Structure 1
Amino acid sequence: MCEPNVVGDWQEYDEHAGLRVRVHRLEQAEPPRGRDDAAEGLTYFSLRVTVENRGTRHFGIHLEDGQIDVRIGPDGESAFIDWRNSQFIEGYDVHPLRRATAVLFAAGPEAALAQIDVQVQLRVDEEWAGRRLWVGGAGLHEAEGTHTGPGCGVAHQVSNFLRDQAEEGTA
């Protein structure tokens, strides 16, 4: 993990040709089966982790609880993960030109949701792939020229960093 991705960016796995993953659709959302009592006073949000196979062979994918870590706020405190409402990818074969998506519901203090870090460690064909990190904030909109909302500073900082790194690599 050399540098973080902005929520919405695809990250390819060099060790698994054609396989890529992204964290996207980070937004405030209530869980479908009701709130967990342990989340009393916290604000819920959801995110999706999509695995896509652009290669020529299928991959057996596992993305279960414990393989997605969500940290919130400037101190990187752990978010409350609502395992009951979340949907994971458990032993699924992703064939060429196909996708599989996990949906995660989490909660935290509303003030801390401006900065959300999501780390994913995918298991592919019973082997652990490298960890990947995405940064964003609840209320941010992906793939827009200008970001608005409480976490726009983080998204702009990461975008600028990645753009500067890319320019340095071509110069």
Structure 2
Amino acid sequence: MYEPNVVGDWQEYEGHAGLRVRVHRLEQAEPPRGRDDAAEGLTYFRMRITVENRGPRRFGIHLEDGQIDVRIGPEGEGAFVDWRNSQFIEGYDVYPLRRATAVLYAAGPEASLSQVDVQVQVRVDEEWADRRLWSGGVGVQEAPVAAGPACAGQGGLAHQISTFLRDQAGPGGAA
């Protein structure tokens, strides 16, 4: 069963040795160039999407507006994404032991921001990598990134998400 990542977790891409991505720093923040009129009455937040190359060769990375989807609240409604204020990775070569980071500004009703899902599909050297999903919330503390495997104890968000997905699959159901 495919399990989503928790905001802050790294996700490695098979087929692209050493390339990994994460969504992190999900926090309430006003955009640098002012609010978009379409976001009136909504609460702004931002997140960072970092692509890191730990492999032996460079990768050409594209992470633009159509490759990121942000959903909020228990119903998974689309957040307002402020493309004008966001910064993307457009045709950038990420060399070994280097990173590139996109900064995305979005907005939604404050009551829905405790549950945010971000789906990312990076294009690597003109090939589409698999889509990956990160779950978190504005105001939810992300765990510090450790060198070892992520902690997924009984009370952790990753464990709660896994349990929820198993419950949704039903009896004996592998999704």
- TM range, smaller chain: 0.7 to 0.9
CA distance in structure 2 between the partners assigned to 1:50 and 1:128 by the alignment: 17
- Corresponding residue of 2:68: 68
Q: Which residue of 1 aligns with 2:141?
A: 141
CA distance in 1 between counterparts of 2:162 and 2:99 reads 26
* Residue 124 of structure 1: how far off its partner (Å): 0.1
Stretches of structure 2 lacking an aligned partner (at least 5 in a row): 145-154, 164-175
Which residue does the alignment assign to 1:168? none
How far off is 1:115 after superposition?
0.3
Separation in structure 1 between the aligned mates of residue 19 and residue 36 of structure 2, nearest angstrom: 34
Please report how far the alpha carbon of residue 80 of structure 1 lies from its aligned counterpart in structure 2 after TM superposition: 0.1
Residue 127 of structure 1 aligns with an amino acid whose one-letter code is E
- TM-score normalised per structure 1: 0.86
Normalised to the residue count of structure 2, the TM-score between the two structures is 0.84
| Matched-pair contact (CA < 8 Å) for 2:6–2:157 | no
Higher strand share: 1
Q: Tell me, what secondary structure is at the counterpart of 1:130?
A: coil
> Contact 1:6/1:159 (CA < 8 Å) preserved in 2?
no
CA distance in structure 2 between the partners assigned to 1:86 and 1:119 by the alignment: 16
Aligned length, in residue pairs: 153
Partner of 1:44: 44
Shift of 1:2: 1.1
Q: Which runs of 4+ in 1 moved over 2 A?
A: 155-163
Q: Deviations over 1:21-64 (max 9, x none)?
A: 00000000000010000000000000000000000000000000
Q: Give the structure 1 partner of residue 103 of structure 2.
A: 103
Deviations 1:57-107 (A, max 9, x none): 000000000100000000000000000000000000000000000000000
Counterpart residue type for residue 67 of structure 1: Q
The letter for the 1-side match of 2:75 is D
What is the distance in 2 between the residues matched to 1:27 and 1:116? 11
Q: How does 1:143-162 map to 2 (within 5 A)?
A: 143=143, 156-160=156-160
* 1:1-171 correspondence to structure 2 within 5 Å: 2-143=2-143, 156-160=156-160
Q: CA RMSD in A?
A: 1.7
Identity %: 79
Using the TM superposition, give the Cα deviation of residue 160 of structure 1 relative to its aligned residue in structure 2, in angstroms. 4.7
3-state secondary structure, aligned to 2:84: coil
